[in-house]
Structure 1
Amino acid sequence: MSDSAPSVRPSVWWVLTATTATQALASMTVLVPAAIAPVLGAALDLPTSLIGYQMTVTYAGGITTSLLGGALVRRLGACRTSQTALALCATGALLIASGLLPLIIIGSYIMGLGYGCTNPAAAHLLARFASGPRMNLIFSIKQTGVPWGGMMAGLLVPSVTVALGWQAAVIMVACMSLAMLALLQRSRAAWDDDRDPSVRLLQSPLAAIKLVWTNPTLRYLSMTAMTLSFSQMCVSAFLVAMLVEEAGFALVAAGIVLSVAQISSVVARLGWGWLADFLQSGVLVLKILVALMIAGAGAAIFLNPSWPVAAIYALFILLGVTAIGWNGVYMAAVARLAPPGQIGMATGGSLVMTFAGVLTGPALFSASTKISGGYAPSFLLIVLIGSLGMVSLILAGRRDRMQAAAQATPETGPQTPA
C-alpha cells in the first residue's frame, strides 16, 4: 500500500487532538496505581514502596508492543492500533479494579501492552499529516498527552478514591479510555487507508532495535531517552508516596502537587519544542534540560518536613519541567532521523530502549529506599543516571554533526540537525 497522504487530507488539528487525547488516557491509566499508592498498598496489606515493581510489570508490557509497534501500524493502520491501545489499557484497569493481587499483576502487564502501542501509531499519523518546519512543536504538543494524563490522574483519581473508593476510581478511568476508542472510529477510514494487511507482525521482532542500533545518532539519542524515562517514572511513581510518608501531606494534597508537576511539564514541552525549532537543534535543548534535571534531583535529596510548602512546589515544578517535559523534543528528533517510510519502526525501536529505563527505574528506586532509608536520599539515583544521559547526548550531538557534514553537498549545503 502507498504511504502517501490521501487525496482529501484529514484535519491536522483533529489528528493532533486525537493522538494527544489517546496518549493522555493511556498515560492516565498507567499512573492510576501510583496516584493512589498509599491506599492501594493498605488495601492489599503491602508496603507502598512496592508500587515501583508494579510499574516495572506495566512497562514490561510496553516493551513487548514497542517491538511490534511499527508492524502493527503498517498492518492494522495507525487508527486501529490506537484503538487497540485504548482497549488494552481499559482491560488492564478493570483487572486491577478486581483487587486481587494475581489479576493486578496481569492487568498491569496488559495495561503496558496498550501504552506501548500509542507512540508508534501517533508518530506515523503526525509524520504523515502534520509534518513541516514546526515538527518539534507538533510532536511536543502531542507529547503533552503524557503530563495531561498525569495531571488527570493526580486530580481526579485521589478525589474519586476518597469519595467512592479506589476501585470506583480505576473503573472510571477504564470507561474514559473506552469512550475515546469509540470516538476514534469516525477517522478510521481516512487514517488507515495506507495499511497493508499482508505485513507479518512477527517476521523480525528485533528489526526495530537493529534499525536504531545501527544508526549512531539514533542509538545515543535513545540511550539518553532511557536515562530520562528512568528519571521520569521515578518522579511520577514516588512523588505522592514521598509527600504522604515523608513530608506529612494528605493524599489529595499530594495528588495536587503531582498535578502541578504534570501541568508544568505541559507548558515546558511546548516551550522546549519551540526552542528546538528556533535553535534548529533538539540535541542542544535536551542538554539544557538534562542539566536542569540533575540540579533538581540533587536538591530533592535534601527534602524533609521542615521545607516550606512553596519550596516543595518549586522543586517539583522544576522536575516536572525537566524529568517529565523532555518527550516531545526527543520524539521529533527520532522522526527526523528515521529512514523514509520507517518512522513507526524507528519510534518503536527507540521506545524499547526508553521503556528499558522505565522498566528498571521504579524497581531500582524501590530497592534504593530500603538501602538509603527513604525516598529523598534515593534521588541520588536520578543525579547519577542523568549524568550518564548527558554523556550520551554529547556523543549524539557529535555523531549528528558528523552525519550532517557527510550528507552536505555544494548544491544543498549543510543539513539541519535534529
Structure 2
Amino acid sequence: MLGGLGAALAATTAAQALATLTVFLLPVLAPIAARDLGAAPHWIGWQVACVYLAASVTSMLSAGALRRFGSARCTQLALAAAGLACLGVLAAGLAGAVLGSFLIGFGYGLTNPAATEVLARLAPPRRRNMVFAVKQTGVPIGGALAGLLLPSLAAGLGWRGAVLAVALLLLLAALGFGAFHRPWAAERDPAARLGAGAGGGWRALRDQPGMAGLAAISALYSGFQLALGAYTVTMLVEESAGARWRPAPSRRSPRRWAPRPGWAGAWSPMPGATVCGPWRRSAPSPSPVACCCRWPWPGPRPRWSGCSACWAAAPPAGTGC
C-alpha cells in the first residue's frame, strides 16, 4: 500500500507543501517578527536569499545522499531540519533566524530531488508528466497555507506561537515519513559516497541541447516570483498603511467581496493571487487590507476577471472586490 504510486504522490506533495510553508514562514510574519528579532522588516530579502542559496547548493549535491539514505530518509531529514530551524528562531533570535534560514534551505533543496527519485521510479512513462505536475502543486499549496494560516495563528498565539506550531507540525511529519523507508528503499545503496553525482546537473546543462536556455528561463521566472513573494506582505503592512486603494473590478465581474478591518494580505505563489487572512498590527491604528484576485476564467482565449487590487486602512462601505 505505502509502496504504490498513489501513496507516494500524496506523501511527496505533502512534503513539498510543508517545505514551502516553512520557506514563507518569516516573509509572512516579518511585519511583526522582524523587530522582535532585532532586524528591520525589509531585511527579509536577505533571509530569503539565505534560504535559496542553501537550497541551490543542497539540490546540486543531493544525488549521493539519495543513493545512500533513500528518498524517505532524505525527506525525513529535510522536514526535521525545517522544524529545527523554526525552533532555532525561537531559541536564538536573529542568529537563530540566520542559521535557521540555511536549515530551511537545506530542507527545501532536498525534498524535490527525493520526490523526483521515487516518483520517476513508480510512475509509468505515459503518466509521468501528470504525476510530476500534481506533485509540484505542493508549492502553491504550501504558499497558500502560509498566507491563510500564519496570520491567524499569529493573531491568536503570537508570532512565536505560530512558529512553534509549524515546528511541531514539521517534526511530526518527519516522524511519519519513517513509514515510507522500506517501500522506497529499492535503489538505496548504503555504501554510496555522499559526493557521488554532484556535478551531474552541470554536465546535463552542457551536453543536452536546449537545457541551458530552459534553466536560465526557469531561474529568471523563479527569481521574479521570489523577489515579489519575499517583500509583498512587508511592503503592504509597513509602507502603505496610510494608503487607500480603490478596487478596479473588471467588466465581467461585479464586486463580490468586501474585506473587513483587521485583515492584511499574505502573498501566495499562485498565478496572480494574494491570499488574505486576519492580521492585526501591534500599532493602535487600523490594520491595512490587501487582496489580489486576478483569476483566469476558462474560454477559447485567455480572459481575466476580478480586481487588480484593493487596499484600505479602514475600508469604507462598499469598498471591496
1:256-275 alignment, distance < 5 Å: 258-259=267-268, 262=270
Answering whether residue 306 of structure 2 is matched by residue 313 of structure 1, we say: no
Q: Conserved in 1, the CA contact under 8 Å of 2:80 and 2:171?
A: yes
Q: Is the alpha carbon distance of 1:173 and 1:158 closer, same or farther for their aligned partners in structure 2, counting shifts above 3 Å?
A: same
Identity of aligned residues (%): 35
Instruction: Note the alpha carbon deviations across 1:137-191, whole angstroms, 9 max, x for none.
Output: 2211111111111111111111111211111111111111112112222221111
Q: Conserved in 2, the CA contact under 8 Å of 1:148 and 1:263?
A: no
| SS of residue matched to 2:148 | helix
CA distance in 2: counterparts of 1:210 and 1:126, whole angstroms: 23
Q: Conserved in 1, the CA contact under 8 Å of 2:19 and 2:142?
A: yes
**Which of 110, 114, 119 is the equivalent residue of 2:103?**
110
Match of 1:19 in 2: 12
Structure 2 unaligned blocks of 5 or more: 244-260, 274-288, 297-321
Structure 1 unaligned blocks of 5 or more: 1-7, 266-308, 319-418
Q: Is the alpha carbon distance of 1:113 and 1:120 closer, same or farther for their aligned partners in structure 2, counting shifts above 3 Å?
A: same
**Which of 251, 264, 267 is the equivalent residue of 1:253?**
264
CA distance in 2: counterparts of 1:9 and 1:162, whole angstroms: 38
Cα distance, 1:9 vs structure 2: 8.8
Match of 1:212 in 2: 205
Cα distance, 1:55 vs structure 2: 0.6
Amino acid at match of 1:253: A
1:156-235 alignment, distance < 5 Å: 156-203=149-196, 205-235=198-228
Instruction: Note the alpha carbon deviations across 1:315-367, whole angstroms, 9 max, x for none.
Output: 5x58xxxxxxxxxxxxxxxxxxxxxxxxxxxxxxxxxxxxxxxxxxxxxxxxx
Aligned length: 263
CA distance in 2: counterparts of 1:158 and 1:98, whole angstroms: 21
Amino acid at match of 1:109: F
CA distance in 2: counterparts of 1:70 and 1:230, whole angstroms: 24
Cα distance, 1:99 vs structure 2: 5.1
**Which of 131, 140, 149 is the equivalent residue of 1:138?**
131
Amino acid at match of 1:188: H
Cα RMSD between the aligned structures?
2.4
CA distance in 1: counterparts of 2:124 and 2:77, whole angstroms: 25
Amino acid at match of 1:65: T
| Bigger strand fraction | 2
**Which of 97, 112, 122 is the equivalent residue of 2:115?**
122
Q: Is the alpha carbon distance of 1:242 and 1:251 closer, same or farther for their aligned partners in structure 2, counting shifts above 3 Å?
A: farther
Q: Conserved in 2, the CA contact under 8 Å of 1:244 and 1:251?
A: no
Cα distance, 1:203 vs structure 2: 4.4
TM score, norm. by length of structure 1? 0.58
Answering whether residue 96 of structure 2 is matched by residue 96 of structure 1, we say: no
Larger RCO (CA under 8 A, 6+ residues apart): 1
Cα distance, 1:314 vs structure 2: 3.3
Q: Conserved in 2, the CA contact under 8 Å of 1:82 and 1:121?
A: yes
Q: Is the alpha carbon distance of 1:38 and 1:224 closer, same or farther for their aligned partners in structure 2, counting shifts above 3 Å?
A: same
Cα distance, 1:56 vs structure 2: 0.7
Q: Conserved in 2, the CA contact under 8 Å of 1:58 and 1:111?
A: yes
TM score, norm. by length of structure 2? 0.75
